[in-house]
Amino acid sequence: MDSANRSLRADVLVVGYGKGGKTVAAKMGQLGKRVVLVERSDRMYGGTCPNVGCVPTKALVHHSNERRPEDPAQEWYERSVAKVQAVTKMMRDGNYQGLNGMETVTVITGQAAFIDPHTVGVQAGGERLTVTAETILINTGSEPIIPDIPGLRDSQYTVTSTELIETTVLPERLVIIGGGYLGLEFAAIYRRFGSLVTVLEEAPKILGRLDDDVAAVARDILTDEGIEIVEGAQVRQVRDGDSGATVVYDKDGQQHSVAADAVLAATGRAPVTRELALEAAGVRTTERGAVEVDEFLRTSQPHIYALGDVNGGPQFTYVSLDDSRIVLDQLVGQGKRSTADRVAIPHTLFMTPPLASVGMTEQEARAAGHRLKIASQPVAEIIAMPRAYIVEDPRGVMKFVLDADTDDILGAVLLSIDAQELINTVALAMRHGVKAAELRDAVYQHPTSTEAFNDVLATIVRAD
């Protein structure tokens, strides 16, 4: 329900409509608590994921993969963006109605800033409101970083990921600054749509946190798609011209340039805290601007919690959801659940095929002192996985890092079709101490991707 009151009191105030905050708001509202949720943008009900993050980007992955070579690139892209925006609008509206329709919850659209540890001022249109609450949740998320490269911020061709997925004009030449997960995902999407894509990565190699053998397979897949990847590239300048931008970079002591119709800054995201006036509440932040929290997500003010990207933890929606469980355990539970309980949290780069990982790499496990066994196999050679051939994509590799003494699964990287689903099975096995032999000898439905574990985990070699 909308409110025109100038002053509100609440049991729980949530600043930001992200996954964690909205989940706590809904539960507390169901319990009869008076909840006020403040969101600064009417395009962000539900948070980053359904509006500008995982949902629209993964939908674009789907639509880009559906395009055939004979389909006109611009027309296909424009239709795809329209379909994706329709989905995000539906989810945004559903998120809004899901909370605002509750009798105990009030949603206010406006910019919030702390006045004191229990009071927040909200500028909602032309109206100034104050909200006082016993418990406050900060859930304002993160936003793209545009690095301080001469000409980049002022260029009319520079876009963030949020802006790029909403444009209806497919860039003929897309230059991506940053070869992390975000940059590579967008590279794969827009190359499939038909853009000429160049990725400029400052580090000596992309996917540097992975073992070299897996990273090399992923790199080959991307370059075989026609993506130009320049590693060790120091971007020096972005210059606008009449019909595009020129991105100037150094590599190996020589200067190079590449033309672009769009320049995507994909160098990370920063917590959104700048306009919250946290100092007025006595809430401390870290050097990187995140809200400082303990393992129970309490800030320097015990009645104020921070959930999701804003607290500086892993920037994943499913982690934000788990944040809500920790906070709810504090508010209405036993107060025992904490971030220390998280084990084997997977993550996926949604290139095609997806690249999913969990736990330690071989390099990390060896550095930690484990005696290792390695199970690794190219997808094309996994006899027990005909599904890869059924869907006509046998690219990739699966690799497991195992403890040679205990047969524990220390980590896995799956670069294959359905990897985003398979990795959840591996993570669950790791959490519950399932041994590699048990995962290897389990009975899996046929023909599925999971049954690849029967083969891959039988290829064990000792790495020591």
Would you state the pLDDT for residue 168? 95
Phi-psi region of 369 (alpha: psi -120 to 50; beta: other; left: phi over 0): left
Distance CA 409, CA 425 (A): 12
User: What 3 state SS string does 400-448 have?
Assistant: EEEECCCCCEEEEEEECCCHHHHHHHHHHHHHCCCCHHHHHHCCCCCCC
149 part of a folded domain? no
Confidence of residue 6 (pLDDT cuts 50, 70, 90): confident
Domain identity same for 233 and 326: no
Domain identity same for 37 and 134: yes
Domain identity same for 35 and 117: yes
Q: What dihedral angle (degrees, nearest 10) is formed by the CA atoms of 329, 334, 335, 340?
A: -80
Could you list the active site residues? 446
Distance CA 418, CA 450 (A): 9
153 part of a folded domain? no
Would you state the pLDDT for residue 3? 43
Pick the closest to residue 255 from 237, 272, 242 (CA basis). Answer: 237
239: enclosing H helix or E strand: strand 234-240
CATH code of the domain covering residue 135: 3.50.50.60
Would you state the pLDDT for residue 39? 96
Compute CA distances 362 → 73, 210, 410, whole Å: 41, 9, 9
Mean local confidence (pLDDT), 450-460: 96
Would you state the pLDDT for residue 66? 94
329 part of a folded domain? yes
Would you state the pLDDT for residue 2? 45
Domain identity same for 315 and 458: no
Distance CA 351, CA 354 (A): 5
Express each pLDDT in 97-150 by its tens digit. 999 899 999 999 999 999 999 999 999 888 899 999 999 999 999 999 999 999
Question: Beta strands 372-378 and 111-116: pairing type?
Answer: unpaired
Residue 151, token pair as written in the block: 């000409």
Residue 283, token pair as written in the block: 């809430």
Instruction: Specify the residue for token string 């469980």.
Output: 325
Total of domains in the chain: 3
Count of CB atoms within 10 A of residue 102's CB? 16
Confidence of residue 48 (pLDDT cuts 50, 70, 90): confident
Would you state the pLDDT for residue 126? 83
Confidence of residue 1 (pLDDT cuts 50, 70, 90): very low
Domain that holds residue 183: 158-267
25: enclosing H helix or E strand: helix 19-30
Provide the total of helices (H) and of strands (E) in the chain, helices listed first. 14, 23
Count of residues making up the chain: 464
Domain identity same for 383 and 449: yes
Domain identity same for 13 and 123: yes
Burial 418-455 (b: 16+ CB within 10 A, else e): bbbebbebbbebbeeebbbeebbeeeeeeeebbbbbbb
Mean local confidence (pLDDT), 191-196: 97
Express each pLDDT in 217-259 by its tens digit. 999 999 999 999 999 999 999 999 999 999 999 999 999 999 9
For the ranges 39-48, 137-146, 320-329, 382-391, which has the lowest average pLDDT? 39-48
Domain identity same for 180 and 292: no
Instruction: Specify the residue for token string 């609440």.
Output: 10
Express each pLDDT in 56-84 by its tens digit. 999 999 999 999 999 999 999 999 999 99
217 part of a folded domain? yes
Name, in order, each residue with C-beta under 8 angstroms of 187's C-beta and a sequence gap of 6 or more.
174, 176, 179, 197, 199, 222, 227, 229
Cβ–Cβ under 8 Å, residues 454 and 443: no
Domain identity same for 230 and 117: no
Choose the final residue of a domain: 267, 293, 328.
Answer: 267
Compute CA distances 132 → 12, 35, 115, 139, whole Å: 9, 11, 10, 17
Q: How many CA atoms lie within 13 A of 136 on its CB side?
A: 28
252 part of a folded domain? yes
Would you state the pLDDT for residue 174? 98
Burial 35-74 (b: 16+ CB within 10 A, else e): bbbbbbeeebbbbbbbbbbbbbbbbbbebbeebeeeeeee
Choose the final residue of a domain: 267, 298, 323.
Answer: 267
Would you state the pLDDT for residue 50? 87
Name, in order, each residue with C-beta under 8 angstroms of 148's C-beta and a sequence gap of 6 or more.
none
User: Per-residue pLDDT for 5 more than 60?
Assistant: no
Would you state the pLDDT for residue 51? 86
Alpha helices (H) along 31-148: 48-51, 54-66, 73-100
Domain identity same for 305 and 238: no
